[in-house]
Amino acid sequence: MQTILRSQTKTVTIGDDQPFCIIGERINPTGRKLFQQQLRAGDLSQVLIDIEEQIAGGAHVLDINMGVPLADEPALMAQAVTMAQEACDLPICIDSSVIEALEAGLSVYKGKALVNSITCELDRIEAVLPLIKEHGAAIICLTNGEEGIPVVWDERFEFCKRLVDIVHGKWEIPLEDMIIDALAMPIGAEPQSAYHFFKTIEAIKDEFDLNTTCGASNTSFGMPSRHTLNGTFLAMAAGAGMTSAIMDARSEECIRAVRGSDVMLSKDEYGINWIGHYRPPAKV
Amino acid sequence: MTPEEILQNLYDETMVGNGPAVIELTNTGLEMGMDPETLLFDALIPSLEEVGARFERGDWFVPEMLIAGKAMAGALEVLRPLLAAKGTETIGKFVMGTVKGDVHDIGKNLVNIMLEGAGFEVIDLGVQVSPEKFIAAVEEHQPDILGMSAFLTTTMPMFKANINALEKAGLRDKVIVLVGGAPVTQEYADAVAADGYAADASAAVKLSKELIAKQRAALALNA
């Protein structure tokens, strides 16, 4: 299955015959007090800095989230998306829990965007999917519903089936435009969470061959040496069949882990890309 | 084992989250005729306080806090009926829930574990808790504190909706309201007129103790 995303000039393909797709996550003010103050004051300069860092780190797609409490999120999203498209040629993942912000971002976006996200909650599905259809975007679908986030993999997989029924079956969104987020949870709070995550990914791949993703940094919440744990998780998830992740491209360890997984999974044959990235300086 | 050894071992085993040993030591202590209050206040609570302090300094990590809290919860199950029979006052009563529209509960559950570990009685309403459900629980349980958790910028406004509902029901001055969750800040807590905000489980315990002490002191002064 190939999910195609586009900016004005560039196409990025997500799929199991493609290198692991790095969706750079840092363009997000959550937990960043100074950034939030700047955004409330209409100063978006940090957005450009974050974009540059994600690109320098190796991001293929940029996730943009402008979730600032007590601010005009739709206006900020439209501005940030426009700025990003002027500054670079990467496709964008428009990320918001606010419908109006998704709408504002999509309406100024040039190309085929990814939208983050819906769950099995019907109210939100009915608000978001018309936008996805109108703009021909792809959509990240989370495997949880109103009742909460299931711990065990087969319950999460049930949500995936429901999502396919609704998003593809009822709303006629092409399967290749659905990316399933199998929900990475903190391993420090639930020791079995990675096991259930990998099993969910495998089941989705076997049954539907859909592209999959997750917010990888969740995994290491509350732990020391977070980048190493995130990187280990990412490589193992890629091994289970995950084809993309929303992750911090500034993390050298995570980037190396997913590029290494490309070599191991024959997505980077003979490790030619790997060598290109990590070749030591020539000796003459 | 002497009573002193029981207390020391209980303190040590709680800190490293050795659940079976904590229950065994609690039972052994009780069989020896030790006072349940002594086990609680001279071993279990100080142990969890030390865990919280280490966590706050960044020396200890979430799983260590989690297993220590769980170990302590096991001992509390043994002690609770004995403490209740003795009429021991709990440190405070907490009603807790994730607001309507939000299903995130990992942070809330960590806070619950640390609160219980500190000797609070916690009534957890779960996730997707509507204003009506919060009101009903406050009326039924008459807690010292109502704790609300939200993980999304879209669900944070439910804090205000719930606080308005408390006001409408005439309950706002009967209960301390604390808020928390990843996107929540002190600023936001002030904006919705909550009584407090805590950034993590350990801070939540500390703040809860402070606010209850302050409230009880004020009540004593008025009495």
Separation in Å, CA of B9 to nearest CA in chain A: 25
Residue A276 to residues A251, A266, B147, Cα–Cα distance (Å): 19, 16, 53
The answer to whether the beta carbons of residues A224 and B58 sit under 8 Å apart is no
The mean-pLDDT minimum among A7-21, A160-174, B105-119, B157-171 falls in B105-119
The answer for residues whose C-beta is within 8 angstroms of residue B6's C-beta and 6 or more apart is B25, B28, B29, B32, B34, B39, B43
What's the complex ipTM? 0.85
pLDDT of residue B89: 78
| Chain B positions in Cβ-Cβ contact with residue A148 (cut-off 8 Å) | 103, 105, 126-128
Contact B103 A97 (CB under 8 A): no
> Which is nearest to B21 in space by CA: B38, B5, B37, B42?
B5
Domain ranges (residues) in chain B:
3-86, 93-222
Mean pLDDT of B16-26: 97
What's the pTM? Answer: 0.90
Mean residue pLDDT of chain B comes to 93
Q: Which of A123, A114, A121, A153 minimizes the C-alpha distance to A244?
A: A114
End-to-end CA distance of chain B: 46
User: Which residues in chain A are closer than 8 Å to B184, comparing Cβ atoms?
Assistant: 69
Tell me which of A194 and B113 has the higher pLDDT.
A194
Shortest Cα distance from A69 to chain B (angstroms)? 6
Please report the pLDDT score of residue B154 as a whole number. 83
Q: Report the gap between the CA of A110 and the closest CA in chain B (Å).
A: 26
- Quick one: which H or E segment has residue B222? helix B201-222
Question: Which of B25-34, B46-55, B95-104 has maximum average pLDDT?
Answer: B25-34
pLDDT of residue A153: 95
Instruction: For residue A33, give the nearest of B66, B128, B185 by CB distance.
Output: B185
Q: Which of A30, A73, A222 sits opposite B62 (nearest CB)?
A: A222
Give pLDDT < 70 ranges for chain A: none
Would you state the structure tokens that stand for residue A15, as one six-digit string?
A: 């799929």
pLDDT score recorded for residue A194: 97
CA–CA gap between residue A217 and residue B85 (Å, rounded) = 47
With the C-alpha atoms ordered A114, A5, A26, A81, is the resulting torsion angle positive or negative? negative
pLDDT at A256: 98
| Three-state secondary structure call for residue A13 | strand
Say how far apart CA A119 and CA A159 lie, in whole Å: 9
Kindly tell me if the per-residue pLDDT of B218 is higher than 80: yes
| CATH 3.20.20.20 at A3-269, yes or no | yes
Q: Which of A67, A144, A189 sits opposite B153 (nearest CB)?
A: A67
Give the residue on B whose Cα is nearest the Cα of A186. Answer: B106
How far off is chain B from A18, nearest CA to CA, in Å?
33
Mutate to test the interface with A, among B54, B57, B103 (most CBs of A within 10 A): B103
Task: Assign A262 to helix, strand or coil.
Answer: helix
Give just the sign of the alpha carbon dihedral A21, A22, A27, A28. positive
Q: Please tell me the predicted confidence (pLDDT) of residue A31.
A: 84
Q: Which residues of A touch B57 (CB under 8 A)?
A: none
What pLDDT, in 10s, does the model give residues A108-128?
A: 999 999 999 999 999 999 999
What does the block give as tokens for A176?
Answer: 């290749």
**CA-to-CA distance for B188 and B180, rounded, in angstroms?**
10
pLDDT at A145: 83
Region of A252 (left: φ > 0; alpha: ψ -120 to 50; beta: rest) is: alpha
Instruction: Among B105, B153, B202, pick the best mutation site for testing chain A contact (most A Cβ within 10 A).
Output: B153
Domain boundaries, chain A: 3-269
- pLDDT, tens digit, for every residue of A5-52? 999 999 999 999 999 999 999 999 988 989 999 999 999 999 999 999
- Rounded Cα gap, residues A126 and A124, in angstroms: 5
CATH superfamily placement of domain B3-86: Methionine synthase domain (1.10.1240.10)
User: Residue B223 pLDDT more than 80?
Assistant: no
Using an 8 Å CB-CB cutoff, list chain A residues near B127: 148
Closest chain A C-alpha to B184 CA, distance in angstroms? 8
Residues of B whose CB is below 8 A from A33? 185
| A68, A148, A224 member nearest B103 (Cβ) | A148
| pLDDT, tens only, B50-96 | 999 999 899 999 999 999 999 998 999 999 899 988 888 778 999 99
A165 vs B206: CA distance, rounded Å: 47
Q: What is the pLDDT of residue B117?
A: 84
Rounded average pLDDT over B123-137: 96
Give the integer Cα–Cα distance in Å for A92 and B24. 56
Q: Give the confidence band of B183 by pLDDT, cuts at 50, 70, 90.
A: confident
| CATH class name, domain B93-222 | alpha beta
Would you state the pLDDT for residue B91? Answer: 86
* Cα A211 from Cα A3, distance rounded (Å): 7
Mind telling me how many Å the CA of B71 is from chain A's nearest CA?
15
Q: What are phi and psi of A32, to 5 degrees?
A: -120, 100
Instruction: Please give the interface size between A and B, counted as residue pairs whose CB atoms are below 8 Å apart.
Output: 64
Residues of B in contact with A188 (CB under 8 A): 61-63, 66
